[in-house]
Amino acid sequence: MATAENLTQKKRFRPAGKAGFGGVALGNGFQHNADLECLQAVEAAWNAGIRLFDTSPWYGLGISERRMGLFLKDQPRDSFTLSTKVGRLMLPHEDFKMEQSLWKGKLNFAYKYDYSAAGVRQSIEESLQRLGLSSIDVVYIHDLSPDNGDMKDSYAHYFEQAVNGAMPELTRMREEGIIKGWGLGVNTVEPILQTLEVADPDIFLSACQYSLIKHDEDLNQVFPKVAERGISIVVGAPLCAGFLSGKDRYLYDGTFPAGVKEKLNALQQVARNHAVELHTAALQFAAAPDEVSGVIPGAHTAQQAVQNAQAFNIKIPTDFWKELKHEKLIAEHAPIPDK
């Protein structure tokens, strides 16, 4: 059995650069987006220097993987990092309907949960077919979290299935050289902390938990734990699903938690004081911690993709960050960009 000491000494896979591209919008998240528009968005991200791409079978029930792969299949495989996810298997189903679905447009697949070892192998093989690629770098166990209402009361059951199935199987696949790393892709911190107690992950996709709006739990609970073992974090939803870039929505469930609009107004005022684009500041804030190895804002147009890519390289005055801390809009000990 691995000891705490040799887990700490293990050198774990990290993407080469922090600026990335998330695939929710490619799966028709929030609205239907045209195939060509999505392909142009991925191409624009690539041309702007992005080499970290994240997708999932869940995003549009296969649509995001197909669209992302349509561009990436023609690029040298060793020139980019690709992550996808496991935990749901796609089932052919003509014109599948979902109530209150994030995914818009026509869906031709249903799904079932499967966090078993066999399910993981099947999911990865099917993802490779949809992507048109020969390999995947990072695999995240997806939505294995108590906030996933679709699981009803079965979270504990599925977590146990993953502990006995998906987690050791992904470790074996890493040791076999099939993948470079694995972890969880979740919207809460609890499953990450649980997984650290029972398995040997390399990298976590922590969504909805590290942004200018909300970051205390990742900062205080997750980052110290992963740092002890050389594990890194990829930040998902750094713009809170567009909330920090002007969209009238907050994350994924259609509600605005108490205080978030007021905090947004306060952040916007500080940004105006320093002539800073809040969208730019949000992405740089998410990328600042040493524990963070990637930040994956989404895009479905070329303009959005370029704007996201360029945001990581714009100089932001130090006084902007100082004012945010003085006004207690970000934690005093939160890392800030050093450029």
pLDDT the model gives residue 1: 44
239 neighbors 282 (Cβ within 8 angstroms):
yes
pLDDT the model gives residue 77: 97
Strand partners, 19: 295
Beta-carbon contacts of 102 under 8 Å, excluding residues fewer than 6 positions away, are 24, 29, 30, 252
308 neighbors 34 (Cβ within 8 angstroms):
no
Helix count (H) and strand count (E) of the chain?
Answer: 13, 10
Instruction: Give Rg (Cα) of the chain.
Output: 19
Strands of the sheet with 181-186, listed across from one edge:
20-22, 52-54, 81-86, 138-142, 181-186, 203-207, 232-236, 292-296
142 vs 7, 139, 149, 185, CA distance in Å? 23, 9, 14, 5
Cα–Cα distance for residue pair 150/11, rounded to 1 Å:
36
User: DSSP assignment, residue 197?
Assistant: H
Beta-carbon contacts of 144 under 8 Å, excluding residues fewer than 6 positions away, are 87, 115, 155, 158, 159, 162, 184, 186, 191
Sign of the dihedral defined by the CA atoms of residues 23, 252, 202, 234, in that order: positive
Neighbouring CB atoms inside 10 A of 329's CB total 15
Beta strand extents in 220-278 (DSSP E only)? 232-236
* pLDDT values of the chain reduced to their tens digit, one per residue, 339 residues: 455 555 666 799 999 999 999 999 999 999 999 999 999 999 999 999 999 999 999 999 999 999 999 999 999 999 999 999 999 999 999 999 998 899 999 999 999 999 999 999 999 999 999 999 999 999 999 999 999 999 989 999 999 999 999 999 999 999 999 999 999 999 999 999 999 999 999 999 999 999 999 999 999 999 999 999 999 999 999 999 999 999 999 999 889 999 999 999 999 999 999 999 999 999 999 999 999 999 999 999 999 999 999 999 999 999 999 999 999 999 999 999 986
Tokens describing residue 182: 């694995």
